[in-house]
């Protein structure tokens, strides 16, 4: 499995996302993903499925050292002390003694960034997490968080897919040494499976438009974490390492970006106006 480096963190380039998976479905799909060959599992406190994801990891029988586990701290736990305690609770739910990457799920503006980043780094120093990072941080906020952190920041997880150009975030992250993880890497509503550009490129390789969209991300050095409730779709999403896109194909796919390509659910984007209208600011 290809890995993407973020300030010393070696993150498997393709992971399994668990957003919206609940109960037995979360447990069974986590196990199924690991059975397929995924070695990167992404969850979050706000997903309310850490216990089931942890059970799925245990059910898989895969050696813990071979699995890269990411979770995220919700924004009501950004105070020093609260953050560390909440991560310990996450570990109890996951039934793990540490996770590999802990992210701040969304920016918070009523807690000093210096306090939050110090607490996050302290969790790393305590051994609760091997690496630390951000999620949904704009270019400006990402730089501010990195400057405020006593230790290395590994990753910024953002919405990114063929219809949403995130080049400014990618460039800024790489200049800072961070990896970038793409959530919603297949876009929304299944459009990648019907897109003429993606399907025509896929026909050359015997791949679907979705597989081409994932390959486009991974080949450009972006971690992708597609989420699905179907074992067959999870297997299809994993089957992207036996072909390579040509530079002209990469360019054609990049040209699919749409100024209206972002989908932000207000429930998942609190105080978005305070953070800037797009990730690219």
Helix 209-219 crosses helix 231-238 at what angle (to 10 degrees)?
50
Integer Cα distance of 25 and 72 in angstroms: 20
38, 47, 163, 183: the active-site residue: 47
- Whether 38 is a known active-site residue: answer no
What DSSP designation does 164 have?
B
Q: How far is CA 19 from CA 49, 95, 215, 246, in A?
A: 8, 19, 21, 32
- What is residue 69's DSSP assignment? E
Q: Are 77 and 86 in contact (CB under 8 A)?
A: yes
How distant, in Å, are the alpha carbons of 76, 84, 118 from that of 80? Answer: 11, 7, 8
Residues with catalytic roles: 47
């Amino acid at each position: 499995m290809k890995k993407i480096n973020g300030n010393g963190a070696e993150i498997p380039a393709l992971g399994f996302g668990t957003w919206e998976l609940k109960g037995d479905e979360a447990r069974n799909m986590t196990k199924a993903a690991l059975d397929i060959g995924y070695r990167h599992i992404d969850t979050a406190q706000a997903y309310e499925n850490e216990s089931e994801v942890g059970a799925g990891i245990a059910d898989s029988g895969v050696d813990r050292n071979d699995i890269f586990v990411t979770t995220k701290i919700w924004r009501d736990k950004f105070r020093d002390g609260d953050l560390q305690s909440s991560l310990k609770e996450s570990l109890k739910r996951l039934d793990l003694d540490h996770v590999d990457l802990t992210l701040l799920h969304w920016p918070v503006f009523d807690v000093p960034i210096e306090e939050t980043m110090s607490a996050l780094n302290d969790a790393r120093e305590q051994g609760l997490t091997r690496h630390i990072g951000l999620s949904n941080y704009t270019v400006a906020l990402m730089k501010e968080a990195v400057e405020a952190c006593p230790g290395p920041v590994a990753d910024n997880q953002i919405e990114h897919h063929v219809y949403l150009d995130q080049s400014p975030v990618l460039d800024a992250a790489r200049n800072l040494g961070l990896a970038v993880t793409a959530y919603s890497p297949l876009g929304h509503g299944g459009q990648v499976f019907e897109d003429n550009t993606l399907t025509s490129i896929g026909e050359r390789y015997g791949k679907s438009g979705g597989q081409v969209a994932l390959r486009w991300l991974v080949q450009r050095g972006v971690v992708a974490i597609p989420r699905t409730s179907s074992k067959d779709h999870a297997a299809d999403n994993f089957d992207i390492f036996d072909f390579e896109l040509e530079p002209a194909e990469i360019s054609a796919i990049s040209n699919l970006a749409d100024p209206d390509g972002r989908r932000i659910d207000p429930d998942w984007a609190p105080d978005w106006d305070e953070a800037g209208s797009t990730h690219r600011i």
